[in-house]
Amino acid sequence: MQTDYSENSLQPINEKWRKFQLKSMFCYTLLILICEFIGYFVISGLSMLECSTSKYFLKYLLFPSGCNMLLTIFAWLLSEKTKVAETAKNYITCLSMVGIAFVVSVVHCAFAGVYSVFLIPVIMTMIYGDFRLISVTSLCSVVLNWVSAMYIRWDASKKQTADLAADFMLSLFLLGGVFVACVVIIRFEKEKQQTIAHSEQERSRLQQELLRDHLTGVYNRLALTNALENLCAPETGSFFIAMMDIDDFKSINDTEGHLEGDAVLRHLGEVLTKDCPDAMPVRFGGDEFSVLFHERKREEVLSELKKVQKDFAQYGGLCQGTLRPTLSIGLAEWQQNMLPEELMRCADEALYESKMGKKNRLTVYSSEKK
């Protein structure tokens, strides 16, 4: 079974290939028309023309080229319909190509090896990596190949000879061999895609682990550093960073133990994730956390941070009463040309001011105070 990676990532490639198929069908039809037109003058010059000029043009140019062009236009129009499923578009394109091969094999049955023209749609179908599609295309090619060789006499000079029978049997053998080869290639391609998808998922998982704090589940300091480096650019819009510290966390650890301290840290991580869904919560280190708010209004940021303080204080663990955990917060807004270190310093100063008061406060940095 294909993974989401292969289904989603390969769809644009399949669409691009389908367009190439349609262009190939048009060029193929045009090429046959030109060759037949040139062939008329060559045959006429050698006095080998066995029918009238009007009959030749109708039988070998207008009718087959018209059929091929109609098949191409039909497939092209349906491929442009948004309501038609992508899989259906693939089937229509591939089977239309089989139809063109059938027309060519009927009209040019007198030429040795003409039945091999059915190999083209089978080989071109392989790119889609769809077992059912290539099976249907191959089956239709075999059936139409049989009909063309055994039941249709487009050219009156065509007779069932040992050479024609051998040519037909060889074409069936080639079709079967190409089909088997395509199936094997598709199978190995699917295994390769699955391996790539698994490797990509594993790489993404490891990358996320590197950027996550294992205890709380929020982002770590490395992730914050990377984010600030990307955001502190001239074209970046406004953003805020909040630095926060659990009040008297050392007392909680000393009184209730480190396991209870870890539970308090996990609780804060859960609160930040829940109350700041559109922000980036980070464990900066120890009991110090931060939250990055990008393209948010100050009022919204302040409202979310106050909710964080309220919900964090509802902790239902062992440390209650005099040890009820509270949160002091300092908030700073990024200004143009401000470096990440300057922004962090401003947020730290605001946090320091919160802790110097009654704690459990929220202070917004202001350069006017300095």
Q: State pLDDT tens for residues 226-260.
A: 999 888 876 777 899 999 999 989 888 888 888 98
DSSP structure class, residue 46: T
Over the stretch 260-272, which tens digit does the pLDDT of each residue have? 889 999 999 999 9
Q: Which fold has domain 221-369?
A: Alpha-Beta Plaits (3.30.70)
**Amino acid making up residue 323:** L
So what's the pLDDT on residue 361?
93
**Amino acid making up residue 94:** C
Please name the residue ranges forming H helices in the chain.
Answer: 4-45, 53-56, 63-79, 86-107, 119-125, 131-150, 162-210, 221-231, 249-256, 258-275, 298-312, 340-356
Q: Confirm whether pTM is higher than 0.75.
A: no
Angle of helix 298-312 relative to helix 258-275, nearest 10 degrees? 150
So what's the pLDDT on residue 2?
41
Assigned token pair, 294: 């990008």
DSSP structure class, residue 131: H
Query: What is the edge-to-edge ordering of all strands in the sheet holding 362-364?
Result: 280-285, 288-294, 239-246, 327-333, 362-364
As a whole number, mean pLDDT of residues 221-225 equals 92
- The backbone torsions φ and ψ at residue 71, rounded to the nearest 5 degrees and listed phi first, read -65, -40
Over the stretch 123-150, which tens digit does the pLDDT of each residue have? 999 999 899 999 999 999 999 988 887 7
Name which of 232, 230, 238, 239 is nearest 339 in CA terms.
Answer: 232
**Domain residue ranges in the chain:** 4-203, 221-369
Judged against a pLDDT cut of 50, whether residue 4 lies above it is answered with no
Give the DSSP letter string of 47-73: T---S-HHHHIIIIIIHHHHHHHHHHH
Over the stretch 299-349, which tens digit does the pLDDT of each residue have? 999 999 999 999 998 886 655 555 678 999 999 999 888 899 999 999 999
At residue 75 the predicted structure's pLDDT band, cuts being 50, 70 and 90, is very high
